[in-house]
Amino acid sequence: MDKQKLADIFAQIKKFDKIIISVHKRPDGDCLGSAFGLKDIIKATWPNKEVYVLGEYVEYLSFLGKTDEIEDEVFEGSLFISVDTAGRDRIFDQRFTKSDMMIKIDHHIAVENFGDIDYVDVNRPSVTLIILDLFREFQDVLKMTSNGARALYTGTLTDTGRFKYSGVDGDTFRSVAVLYDNGLETREIYDVLDVRTDELTRFKGFFLQNFKKTKNGVAYIKILPKHIKKFKVSLEEASSLVNELGYFAECPIWILFAEYEGGIVRARMRSKGPAINELANKYEGGGHSMACGANLGTWKRTNLLIADADELAKKYKEELK
């Protein structure tokens, strides 16, 4: 935690009357949770400030808040805050250059610096927990409502795999305690997150019947457009099942392949053994050491990645002996 930089960010938020918060493309619980949590803190503390959240609509996260659509003029004289986004081109709204100042708040290994202030803390398992570092640092001034607590808890839950992933520590729970102190009610959140449609339930049946394993311990599944069509699920929904492959004791690595717009094949990669981010980098991807993604482009290349992952699993098991 960089207290000086948090103080700089606090000073800018205090100074600007107009603040625009943007998430990354294809947003998840952490970036929308951070954005709406930060908006709530700013509005609860300074009700007269204008605060906007820019991002795509995501049905299952719509309970966190409503995103805004704004004209170019609104950017004039504004502070732009990008959350949970490592690269400039991944920012949802590319009009950030029209803002007076830009702050980046993120927890991914920096691919580039693009803010006037860049706050990157890779030791925090979610950006919501960085927002909470800011909140706790200036607790005497900042306020939060139960809506903000809900948003920040949701992002913390989704990015830590419900407190299971590495990076969760005492600070995580000290921050979560602050959310309870500010009116957090968790029941509603679990009610929303634990919902599953008929379609996805049936797709899950298919998924659990059709995964494959390599010799040395890589579990994987290839989700083709025809499967998506047959079961009437979205790609996001289908991909959310990735960790269903993480239960095998003999498979330290698991991968979900799916085809995106324009026939582009991507991989979601997970590990409970060796670090896999370098492998992801080799295939035009990146992310965290145990959870990352790769851009294969074509189905043909998936077999290369599977072979590389299998080699990694083999080495890992040999080292354990």
- Cβ burial of 87 (10 Å; 0-12, 13-18, 19+) is middle
Q: Which is nearer to Mn ion, 107 or 150 (CB)?
A: 107
DSSP-assigned letter for residue 88: G
Q: Which is nearer to Mn ion, 35 or 312 (CB)?
A: 35
Residue 199 CB neighbours (<10 A): 15
Residue 126 beta carbon to Mn ion: minimum distance, rounded to whole angstroms: 5
DSSP codes, 99-116: SSEEEEEE-SPPS---SS
Nearest residue by C-beta to Mn ion?
30
Residue 77 beta carbon to Mn ion: minimum distance, rounded to whole angstroms: 29
Q: Regarding beta strands 218-223 and 212-213, do their DSSP bridges make them parallel or antiparallel, or are they unpaired?
A: antiparallel
d(CA 7, CA 117): 11
Residue 145 CB neighbours (<10 A): 14
Q: Which is nearer to Mn ion, 130 or 251 (CB)?
A: 130
Residue 100 beta carbon to Mn ion: minimum distance, rounded to whole angstroms: 26
Between helices 127-137 and 29-45, what is the axis angle to 10°?
20
d(CA 39, CA 65): 10
Q: Which is nearer to Mn ion, 223 or 291 (CB)?
A: 291
Q: Which is nearer to Mn ion, 120 or 223 (CB)?
A: 120
Cβ-Cβ contacts under 8 Å for 69 (sequence gap 6 or more):
none
Q: Which is nearer to Mn ion, 30 or 310 (CB)?
A: 30
Q: Which is nearer to Mn ion, 93 or 159 (CB)?
A: 159
- Dihedral angle over CA of 139, 145, 149, 151, nearest 10: -120
Residue 105 beta carbon to Mn ion: minimum distance, rounded to whole angstroms: 10
Residue 40 beta carbon to Mn ion: minimum distance, rounded to whole angstroms: 18
Residue 159 beta carbon to Mn ion: minimum distance, rounded to whole angstroms: 5
Residue 299 beta carbon to Mn ion: minimum distance, rounded to whole angstroms: 28
- Catalogue the E-assigned strands of the chain: 18-22, 50-54, 79-83, 101-106, 117-120, 212-213, 218-223, 253-260, 264-271, 286-287, 291-297
Give the chain's end-to-end CA distance (angstroms, integer).
Answer: 37
Which amino acid is present at 22?
Answer: S
Q: Check: CB of residue 127 under 8 Å from CB of residue 106.
A: yes
Residue 246 beta carbon to Mn ion: minimum distance, rounded to whole angstroms: 19
Q: Which is nearer to Mn ion, 151 or 309 (CB)?
A: 151
Residues that bind Mn ion (CB under 5 A): 30, 84, 159
